Copies of this chain bind each other. A is one copy, B any other.
Amino acid sequence: MTRIAKTPEPPYYAVIFTSLRTAEEKGYGVMAEYMAELAAQQPGFLGLESVREELGVTVSYWESLEAIKQWKQQVEHREAQRLGRSDWYAAYKVRIARVERDYHFGTLDD
Contact = CB atoms under 8 A, between A and B. Distances in A.
Interface of A: 1-5, 7, 10, 14, 16, 18-20, 49-57, 59, 84-85, 89-108
A18 B1 contact: no
Given A5-B18, A85-B105, A91-B108, 13 more contacts: A2-B55, A3-B20, A4-B20, A4-B92, A51-B51, A51-B56, A91-B105, A91-B107, A93-B108, A95-B99, A95-B101, A97-B97, A97-B98
Contact of A16 (B14, B89, B96): B14
Number of copies: 2
B55 A16 contact: no
A52 B56 CA distance: 9
A94 B102 contact: yes
Given A51-B53, A102-B96, A59 B91 contact: no
A80 B87 CA distance: 41
